Amino acid sequence: MTLLGETATTGGRKGGEGEVLAIRGGRALRGTVEVLGAKNLVTKAMVAALLGESPSVLRDVPDISDVAVVRSLLEVHGVRVEEAGERGALLLDPRDVESAHMEEIDAHAGASRIPILFCGPLLHRLGQAFIPDLGGCRIGDRPIDFHLDALRKFGAVVEKLPSGIRLSAPRGLHGANIHLPYPSVGATEQVLLTAVRAEGTTELRNAAIEPEIMDLIAVLQKMGAIISYEPNRVVLIEGVPRLEGYDHRAIFDRNEAASWASAAIATDGEIFVAGAQQQEMLTFLNVLRKTGAGFEIREDGILFRRGGDLRGVTVETDVHPGFMTDWQQPLIVALTQAQGRSVVHETVYENRFGFTQALVQMGADITVYPHGLQEGPRRVPRRSLEQAAVITGPTSLRGADITVPDLRGGYSHVIAALTAEGESTVRNIGIIRRGYADFLDKLSALGADFDVVG
Site string for ligand EPU, 57-76 (x = CB under 6 A): --------------------
Instruction: Give the residue nearest to ligand EPU (CB).
Output: 186
How buried is residue 353: exposed, middle or buried, by Cβ count under 10 Å (0-12/13-18/19+)?
Answer: buried
Helix H or strand E encompassing 264 = helix 254-266
Tell me the closest approach of the beta carbon of residue 289 to ligand EPU, in angstroms. Answer: 22
User: C-beta of 29: minimal distance to ligand EPU in Å?
Assistant: 21
Q: How far from 309 is each of 38, 104, 259, 294, CA to CA, in Å?
A: 31, 54, 20, 10
CA-to-CA distance for 206 and 177, rounded, in angstroms?
11
For 50, 290, 407, the CA distances from 118, given in Å and listed in that order, are 8, 41, 23
Task: Please name the residues in contact with 175: beta carbons below 8 A apart, sequence gap of 6 or more.
Answer: 154, 195, 198, 199, 200, 201, 202, 237, 238, 239
Pick the closer one to ligand EPU by CB: 324 or 400: 324
Q: Note whether 280 binds ligand EPU by CB under 6 A.
A: no
Q: Does 412 bind ligand EPU (CB under 6 A)?
A: no
- 137 binding ligand EPU? (CB under 6 A): yes
Nearer to ligand EPU, 115 or 239 (CB): 115
Quick one: 223 or 348, whose CB is closer to ligand EPU? 348
- Of 10, 184, 202, 206, the one binding ligand EPU (CB under 6 A) is 184
Is 407 an interacting residue with respect to ligand EPU (CB under 6 A)?
A: yes
Q: Of 8-16, 140-148, 268-276, 296-304, which segment contacts ligand EPU by CB under 6 A?
A: 140-148
Shortest gap between Cβ of 148 and ligand EPU (angstroms)? 7
Sequence letter at residue 254 = R
Other residues' Cβ atoms within 10 Å of the Cβ of residue 356: 23
Q: How far is the CB of 410 from ligand EPU (least distance, A)?
A: 10
- Which of the residues 35, 137, 389, 415 is marked catalytic? 137
For the chain, the 3-state helix, strand and coil shares in percent, each to the nearest 5, are: 35, 25, 40
Our answer to whether residue 137 is catalytic in this structure is yes
Subset of residues 367 to 386 that bind ligand EPU, contact rule: CB under 6 A: none
Report the residue number, 67 or 84, with the smaller CB distance to ligand EPU: 67
Q: Which of residues 96-125 bind ligand EPU (CB under 6 A)?
A: 113
Closest CA to 133 of 156, 158, 106: 106
Binding-site member from 86, 141, 159, 244 for ligand EPU (CB under 6 A): 141
Which span (123-131, 184-192, 287-295, 412-420) binds ligand EPU, by CB under 6 A?
Answer: 184-192
**DSSP annotation of 318:** -
For residue 210, the minimal CB distance to ligand EPU (Å) is 6
Note whether 435 binds ligand EPU by CB under 6 A: yes
Tell me: does residue 410 bind ligand EPU (CB under 6 A).
Answer: no
The rounded distance, in Å, linking the Cα atoms of 178 and 204 is 5
Q: Is 142 in the site for ligand EPU (CB under 6 A)?
A: yes
Cβ contact 223:246 at 8 Å: yes
Verify binding: residue 145, ligand EPU, rule CB under 6 A: yes
Minimum Å gap between C-beta 16 and ligand EPU is 18
Choice between 125 and 408, CB closer to ligand EPU = 408
Which residue in 149, 152, 216 sits closest to 180, CA to CA? Answer: 149
**Site for ligand EPU contains 131 (CB under 6 A):** no
d(CA 127, CA 169): 6
Nearest approach, Cβ of residue 141 and ligand EPU (Å): 6
Taking each helix axis from N to C terminus, what angle separates 39-48 and 211-223, rounded to the nearest 10 degrees? 20
Cβ atoms of residues 240 and 226 within 8 Å: yes
- Our CA angle for 198, 199, 201, nearest 5°, is 90
Q: How far is the CB of 420 from ligand EPU (least distance, A)?
A: 23
**Amino acid symbol at 106:** D
Q: Phi-psi bin for 438: left (phi > 0), alpha (psi -120 to 50), beta? A: left
Give the number of residues in contact with ligand EPU, rule: CB under 6 A.
27
List 7, 40, 336, 342, residue binding ligand EPU (CB under 6 A): 40
Identify which of 421, 411, 409, 444 has the alpha carbon closest to the alpha carbon of residue 363.
421
Out of 144, 169, 273, 333, the residue judged to bind ligand EPU by CB under 6 A: 144
DSSP 31: E
Q: For the window 305-324, what string marks contact with ligand EPU as x by the rule CB under 6 A?
A: -------------------x
Which residues are catalytic, by number? 137
Residue numbers of the site for ligand EPU (CB under 6 A)? 39-40, 113, 137, 140-147, 182, 184-187, 208, 255, 324-326, 348-349, 407-408, 435
